[in-house]
Amino acid sequence: MPDTTTPGLAAARLGRDELKANFADLHEPLDPHEAAVAADRCYFCYDAPCITACPTSIDIPLFIRQIATGTSEAAAKTIFDQNILGGMCARVCPTETLCEEACVREAAEGKPVEIGRLQRHATDTLMAKQAHPYVRAASTGKKIAVVGAGPAGLAAAHRLAMLGSDVTIYDARSKAGGLNEFGIASYKSTNDFAAREVDWLLGIGGITIQTGKTLGSDLSLDELSTDYDAVFLAVGLGGVNALSVDGEDNSGVSDAVDFIGDLRQASELASLPVGRDVVVIGGGMTAVDAAVQSKLLGARNVTIAYRRGRDRMSASPYEQELAASKGVQLLFNVQPAAIHDGEIELAYTDGSHETLRLPADQVFKAIGQTLVTDAGLALDGRKIAVDPNGRTSRKGVWAGGDCASGGDDLTVTAVAEGRDAAMDIHATLMGGK
């Protein structure tokens, strides 16, 4: 058996078979019979609260009724009309705090309709077909630049292409997908789904992707504004907040988002080193993803240390329970005071001035990300300021997703913002506004 007790960073703490089992699909897809049974639980509410709770306003009762009547492909079209990345959102959305929390069944029985799994069943069914379900409108003659190939950028690009414009997407990374490709836990998106979804989305035509292009070094907003009729910025948040404590530069201290990205791109999980004693600083989804995956890679002890109480964690109760079920310890009201060789010192935030020390040969920072460049645009706090249509302070430039003000940092919210900005861009270029 592999030795998981070896101190320090080590690869192959678990065997290949165990790793494969650990990183299997978190939720197995529904088969047609299971989908029919799950759909039959829906009340098909006329004034459905689940629709209001969905950031992309999918007509949930309609698509579930379509599944119930044996027309899953029609159900998928209902979903994609509002959310072209409905396949990924079905896998990663915190449905337990969105549509499913609002479900009447949840209020009445404590068990909502499985909206997320039903959405996955429908979208997977249609995406398995060869033909893309949308056809481009007649050419508008307009060219639009989209900077960032994450959820917001992809959603905007698809809608603009569908409306007849030609779109070029620029992305700093070597591969399109944004956080869907690099920032989601592997057990939530298996079998290279993020890349396959991008390829499927590009089936609309009229979209070109150029990778390795970074705003501020390879691209300037002035040049883009000159070369294109409109620009949509969806650059995300590429910077990571610092802990600002002694020892932060020690070996074994790294960013959780980088760890998740490395894991997502690894061709061999057994080659990834992980600590024996891992501590993750933060309280969001990234912290949970890093902690759970450390445990799945074979870390013996994994702890999430969060500076506030449990009720203040941005990770949902479901995510917290998932972490606990995998053996992750959650510590609240503590923050790092110093990082030593093989140990982290945590200070209580209750004013007691007490501290505790934990073994830590690997520490991950997951305390939020920051904007890398504002491109000279007005800011709202630490993000690009936009109006409800996604317009920035510069004429002809829109922004959406994590880099823009308003909303929450969710894939589904980014999709909605990209879609809505695209509609406003099209209306503006066509003289409608």
Per-residue pLDDT of the chain (433 residues; tens, 9 = 90+): 456 678 889 999 999 999 999 999 998 999 999 999 999 999 999 899 999 999 999 999 999 999 999 999 999 999 999 999 999 999 999 999 999 999 999 999 999 999 999 999 999 999 998 789 999 999 999 999 999 999 999 999 999 999 999 999 999 999 999 999 999 999 999 999 999 999 999 999 999 999 999 999 999 999 999 999 999 999 999 888 999 999 999 999 999 999 999 999 999 999 999 999 999 999 999 999 999 999 999 999 999 999 999 999 999 999 999 999 999 999 999 999 999 999 999 999 988 889 999 999 999 999 999 998 899 999 999 999 999 999 999 999 999 999 999 877 899 999 999 999 999 999 999 996 5
Q: For domain 16-24+240-368, is the CATH number 3.40.630.30?
A: no
Sign of CA dihedral 421, 424, 430, 431: negative
What is the structure's pLDDT at 2? 54
Provide the 3-class DSSP secondary structure of residue 206. Answer: coil
CB 271 within 8 A of CB 11: yes
- Using CA atoms, how far apart are residues 293 and 67, in angstroms rounded to an integer? 34
CB 369 within 8 A of CB 256: no
- Using CA atoms, how far apart are residues 47 and 60, in angstroms rounded to an integer? 11
CB 189 within 8 A of CB 92: yes
Q: What residues does 171 pair with on adjacent strands?
A: 211
φ, ψ (nearest 5 deg) of residue 347: -110, 135
CB 157 within 8 A of CB 202: no
DSSP 142-198: -EEEEE--SHHHHHHHHHHHHTT-EEEEEESSSSS-THHHHSS-TTTS-TTHHHHHH
What are the residue boundaries of the structural domains of the chain, listed by start? 16-24+240-368, 32-127, 143-238+371-429
CATH T-level topology, domain 32-127 = Fumarate Reductase Iron-sulfur Protein; Chain B, domain 2 (1.10.1060)
Structure tokens at 174: 């070597």
What is the structure's pLDDT at 406? 84
395 CB-near residues (< 8 Å, 6+ apart): none
Query: How large is the greatest C-alpha to C-alpha distance in the chain, in angstroms?
Result: 68
CB burial readout 290-324, b (16+ within 10 A) else e: bbbbbbbbbbbbbbbbbbeeeeebbbbeebbebbe
Helix H segments across 177-304? Answer: 179-182, 193-201, 221-227, 256-265, 285-297
- Using CA atoms, how far apart are residues 432 and 424, in angstroms rounded to an integer? 9
CATH T-level topology, domain 143-238+371-429 = FAD/NAD(P)-binding domain (3.50.50)
What is the structure's pLDDT at 56? 97
Residue labelled with tokens 């791109």: 265
Sign of CA dihedral 168, 174, 177, 178: negative
- Using CA atoms, how far apart are residues 40 and 185, in angstroms rounded to an integer? 31
What is the structure's pLDDT at 328? 98
321 CB-near residues (< 8 Å, 6+ apart): none
Query: How many C-beta neighbours within 10 Å does residue 226 have?
Result: 8
149 CB-near residues (< 8 Å, 6+ apart): 169, 170, 171, 173, 176, 177, 178, 198, 209, 211, 234
What is the structure's pLDDT at 71? 97
- Using CA atoms, how far apart are residues 289 and 14, in angstroms rounded to an integer? 19
Length of the chain: 433
CB 385 within 8 A of CB 379: yes
- Using CA atoms, how far apart are residues 378 and 380, in angstroms rounded to an integer? 7
- Domains 32-127 and 143-238+371-429 fall in the same CATH topology: no
Structure tokens at 395: 């004429």
CB 305 within 8 A of CB 346: yes
**pTM higher than the cut 0.85:** yes
Q: What residues does 38 pair with on adjacent strands?
A: none
What is the structure's pLDDT at 5? 74
Single-letter code of the amino acid located at 265: Q
- What's the gap between Cα 272 and its chain centre? 22
